[in-house]
Amino acid sequence: MSTATHEETLGFQTEVKQLLHLMINSLYSNREIFLRELISNGADACDKLRYQALDNDGLYEDDSELRIEIEHDAEAGTVTLRDNGIGMSRDDVIQNLGTIAKSGTAEFLKQLSGEQQKDAKLIGQFGVGFYSSFIVADEVTVRTRRADLPHDSGVEWHSQGAGEFTIADIERAARGTEIVLHLKEDAKEFADDFRLKSLVRKYSDHIEVPVRMPSVEKDDEGNETHGWETVNEATALWVRPKSEISEDEYKAFYKHVAHDFSDPLTWSHNKVEGKLEYTSLLFVPERAPFDLYERDGARGLKLYVQRVFIMDDAEQFLPLYLRFIKGVIDTKDLSLNVSRELLQQDPQVDKLKSALTKRALDMLKKLSKDEETYQTFWNTFGSVLKEGPAEDYANRDKIAELLRFATTHTDSSTQDQSLASYVERMKEGQQKIYYIVADSFNAAKHSPHLEIFRKKGIEVLLLSDRVDEWLMSHLTEYDGKAFVDIAKGDLDLGEIEDEDEKQAQEETAKAKEGLVKRVQESLGEEVQEVRITHRLTDSPACVVLPEHEMGFQMRRIMEAAGQKLPEVKPILELNPEHALVTRLETSDGDAFSDLSRILLDQAIIAEGGHLDDPAAYVKRLNELLTV
Ligand code: ADP
Ligand code: MG
């Protein structure tokens, strides 16, 4: 046996320590997943070797039969996993088994609260990986050698999962990795043949690499022969015919590719032959990954070319607004030596991308038939999908069908109404789809602009997500009906209003011309225009923006991002029926200018805007209240 040299004791990165601590305490009821994670790593390591061996046969070292082996020793209380995959160098080991490289990890760990159940779910989204060994083991030893390094470049890593690990150089003839778990007192149950076999079948049937366990066969005379038995199915799941794959197998496979704990909401498995040749298996997760909004968060599909694993996170096959979709693409249309750089230039990739985008949108469309499940999807990923119309103009009609909104029809803040259902409820003569954008649901719901719509019973979409105004600027129509922001431009309800109403409005406007002129003079530069409106029933005034002006929400976002925007002056609209407006008409001097100013400031506040000089507003208002 060799002796270890160059032994060092190193501390885990802080994030690893935190994760280990939380994981060990939170995942108690889900302990068996350690096996899935370790088999999954072994399978990844075999995939990587196979890929690198494409242009360097020597890596196989006369042992090209890739496999994972699992052994146990009930007496010693150990479980050992072994793979003959790519293995790790000393630096690899320090990097991979001592740190967490995912971006956003520190952020993620801050969200954990110490509440077991909640944390277990969050950790599931994060993906626990190798460190899950410590859920069942109080001592872990890893021995490994990288396929392209000499035998004396083996490495032994050892840790008790607390703050540190030791690492040493060893002699190791076999390439690949061996992990020995010394089971905790209360986890000894895993050192059991039956238990291990059933877990391998449960979690790893779909993995193409065979997972083997020792077997003993007795002949008629009672002589024993020891050998190996392949426990899993060992064919790549997506290659098998759909009809032969059970729901549970799809779900287990999802957990493997997505590093997720929960079941997927739905999936779509397709084999295509013809101009393009590919097999795709796409999943919609139930929960958002922790790095959904990270700039460099993991996204994309696992790419295979003719069944050979090429890379994880190939993000070239789906647009960004579908980045939550997980799965596999296996194609004959790319060459085996394709790289990330080459993918960007290959015209086949664009074709595959548009085909997969259609598949994904169709899958979501199908999911939307089940309203309850779709709502779960929408609540989690709706705001990502809303990036769609801007990113993917060609598919914007399909995306529009998938959008959900809060509206005045339901009065709940849940975004649960489709445009199709809005159109069904449209009033006789209504030709447009009306919406309002505000900073919060309540600001939208209580906006004065809605008053006339309430009175007439016309539904309005209530938009309050940060991306909503951006979204609407890329959606011009749905089902031939234009979208109209009711806080912009002149209000034209078209045929919903009859001729008599229109005439009455014109007459009022005429009668109030004098008032309008006085207010305009009094407010001067503060406003672009003053006019009489019929859109209000309860409020005395409101502000609107010119039709093609950027809305208030987008302005605030851009200003917050440090953009300097030219000032826009609002249009002030007055409700001629309101008592305050009548009072305005009969006042003059300071009383008139103060009240005009109060009406303008109030209208801005009701819109969610900020006053330049709020103290002056309060002072004017108090004076008015005390006369
Ligand atoms: P992930 O698999 O999501 O990358 P893990 O925590 O499971 O995260 O593993 C961390 C890294 O350790 C892997 O990315 C891989 O580089 C390395 N690793 C783990 N197990 C093995 C193995 N059996 N063979 C080679 N490398 C491994
Ligand atoms: Mg892993």
Which ligand 1 atom is at minimum distance from the Cα of 87?
A: 25
What is the whole-number distance in angstroms between the Cα of residue 298 and the centre of ligand 1?
15
**Which residue minimizes the CA distance to atom 14 of ligand 1?**
96
Cβ count within 10 A of residue 491: 18
Q: How many residues does the chain have?
A: 627
Choice between 501 and 117, residue whose per-residue pLDDT is larger: 501
Q: Are 169 and 58 in contact (CB under 8 A)?
A: no
Which ligand 1 atom is at minimum distance from the Cα of 176?
A: 24
Give the span between the Cα atoms of 264 and 98, in whole angstroms.
30
Give the span between the Cα atoms of 220 and 356, in whole angstroms.
56
**Which residue minimizes the CA distance to atom 7 of ligand 1?**
129
Among 126-130, 248-252, 404-408, 425-429, the range with the most confident prediction by mean pLDDT is 404-408
Q: Are 145 and 168 in contact (CB under 8 A)?
A: no
User: Does residue 69 have its Cβ closer than 6 Å to ligand 1?
Assistant: no
What is the mean pLDDT of the segment spanning 30-40?
Answer: 91
Choosing among 1.20.120.790, 3.40.50.300, 3.30.930.10, 3.40.470.10, the CATH entry for 499-625 is: 1.20.120.790
- Residue among 34, 38, 41 to mutate when testing ligand 1 (max atoms within 8 A of CB): 41
| CATH 3.40.50.11260 segments of the chain | 404-496
What is the whole-number distance in angstroms between the Cα of residue 249 and the centre of ligand 2?
19
* Residue 436, strand partner residues: 462
**Which residue minimizes the CA distance to atom 4 of ligand 1?**
129
Cβ count within 10 A of residue 552: 22
Query: What are the tens digits of pLDDT across the range 587-596?
Result: 999 999 999 9
What is the mean pLDDT of the segment spanning 536-549?
Answer: 90
User: Does residue 42 have its Cβ closer than 6 Å to ligand 1?
Assistant: yes
What is the mean pLDDT of the segment spanning 149-154?
Answer: 96
Ligand closest in space to the Cα of 128: 1
**Which residue minimizes the CA distance to atom 12 of ligand 1?**
96
The SS3 call for residue 291 is coil
**C-alpha closest to that of 432 among 398, 465, 409, 459:** 459
Give the span between the Cα atoms of 147 and 60, in whole angstroms.
7
Residue environment code for 228-262, b if the CB has 16+ CB neighbours within 10 A, otherwise e: eeebbbbebbbeeeeeebeeebbbbbbbbbbbbbe
422 contact partners, CB below 8 Å, separation of at least 6: 405, 407, 409, 433, 459, 461
What is the whole-number distance in angstroms between the Cα of residue 62 and the centre of ligand 1?
24
Instruction: Record the tokens describing residue 616, joined without a space.
Output: 């002056």
Give the span between the Cα atoms of 36 and 327, in whole angstroms.
17
| CATH 3.30.565.10 segments of the chain | 5-230
| CATH 1.20.120.790 segments of the chain | 499-625
Look at residue 610 in the predicted model and tell me its pLDDT. 83
Confidence check: pLDDT of 1 > 70: no
What is the mean pLDDT of the segment spanning 196-225?
Answer: 90
Name the pLDDT band for 493 (thresholds 50, 70, 90).
confident
- The overall average pLDDT reported for the chain is 91
Is 237-378 CATH 3.30.300.30? Answer: no
What is the whole-number distance in angstroms between the Cα of residue 40 and the centre of ligand 2?
6
Ligand closest in space to the Cα of 89: 1
- The residue assigned the tokens 């997505």 is 258
Look at residue 345 in the predicted model and tell me its pLDDT. 84
Name the pLDDT band for 292 (thresholds 50, 70, 90).
confident
Name the pLDDT band for 480 (thresholds 50, 70, 90).
very high
Look at residue 2 in the predicted model and tell me its pLDDT. 53
What is the mean pLDDT of the segment spanning 118-132?
Answer: 80
Is 5-230 CATH 3.40.50.300? Answer: no
| CATH 3.30.230.80 segments of the chain | 237-378
Burial class of 225 by CB neighbour count within 10 A (0 to 12, 13 to 18, 19+):
exposed
Topology classification of domain 404-496 = Rossmann fold (3.40.50)
Query: What are the tens digits of pLDDT across the range 181-206?
Result: 999 999 999 999 999 999 998 888 88
